[in-house]
Amino acid sequence: MKRKIKFGLMKKLLISFCLCITVDSVFSQSALPPLRIQHVTGNFYTYVSYGNFNGISYPSNSMYLVTKKGVVLFDTPFDESYYQPLLDSIWKRHHKKAIMCIATHFHNDRTGGIKYYASKGIKTYATRMTDSLCVARGENRAEYLIPNDTTFRVSGNTFQTYYPGAGHTLDNIVIWFPKEKILYGGCFIKSAGDNLGNLSDSDVKAWANSIRRVQQKFPNPNYIIVGHKDYTDKNSLSHTLDLVNEYNATHP
């Protein structure tokens, strides 16, 4: 009788232990790294958030600019768990509130947080093409539409949105800061050493000419901020062109 009790107890303990391992394993796969904020130059900062991609944490680069009136966000975090922590981190670091946010294309790693930020009184912007794709795909929509290439002036800071043509997506835009010569490319530009990534919404045939337009319009940038992974190599734009040319050569 005692042996049966001990065996039953051991069986229950073993089942509980296995359940704990399973739960802990699922949690560890779904848990995302903390938000990372990095200084670029002057009043420019990148913030790195993560999305859960097939059980792997995948980094996404976005940027913000600190002005006297408040902070301008360029794209939103990848995952909703970062939406409020980003605002909290900005307030803690700069004692400023975010006042506007511009999405560079319709994918969720760029537009996911615009509905949340609009609810916080932050003005959200996207191009008309991005808005139409957000409607078609059921993504969150910006409150304000950018009709064409537009120059923004915010508290003495100037930046320009530019649509070079299709590439990573049909609607991708880049943002240029002329004084600092910063090119914010988002997912249109791939990190040096990276591949073309998700091509499900891409127009790879048009991408090469779109890159050349950016190179001609904004030559010799001091910084190029790419959508994912490392952005410290200024050869990322030419690297992206090489990737596109290689792809087109093997996919006639």
Query: What is the distance between the alpha carbons of residues 224 and 180, in angstroms, rounded to a whole number?
Result: 11
pLDDT digits (tens, 9 = 90+) for 27-83: 334 589 999 999 999 999 999 999 987 788 999 999 999 999 999 999 999 999 999
Residue of 75, 109, 131, 171 marked active site: 109
pLDDT digits (tens, 9 = 90+) for 139-169: 999 999 998 999 999 999 999 999 999 999 9
Task: Verify whether residue 24 is a known catalytic residue.
Answer: no
Residue of 140, 168, 172, 228 marked active site: 168
Task: Verify whether residue 235 is a known catalytic residue.
Answer: no
Residue of 198, 222, 235, 248 marked active site: 198
Task: Verify whether residue 105 is a known catalytic residue.
Answer: yes
Cα atoms in the 13 Å half-sphere on the side-chain side of 74 = 30
What pLDDT score does 247 carry? 98
Q: Mean pLDDT lowest for which of 24-33, 161-170, 187-196, 221-230?
A: 24-33
What pLDDT score does 8 carry? 46
Q: What is the pTM of this model?
A: 0.87
What pLDDT score does 30 carry? 57
At 212, phi and psi to the nearest 5? -60, -35
**pLDDT above 80 (res 14):** no
Beta strands in the chain (DSSP E): 36-41, 44-53, 56-66, 71-74, 98-102, 123-127, 144-146, 151-154, 157-162, 174-177, 182-186, 223-226
What pLDDT score does 56 carry? 84
Residue of 61, 75, 79, 107 marked active site: 107
Q: 7 pLDDT band (50/70/90 cuts)?
A: very low
Of all helices (H) and strands (E), which one includes residue 130? Answer: helix 128-137
Residue of 61, 105, 172, 239 marked active site: 105
What pLDDT score does 53 carry? 76
Q: 103 pLDDT band (50/70/90 cuts)?
A: very high
Task: Verify whether residue 171 is a known catalytic residue.
Answer: no
Of all helices (H) and strands (E), which one includes residue 210? Answer: helix 204-217
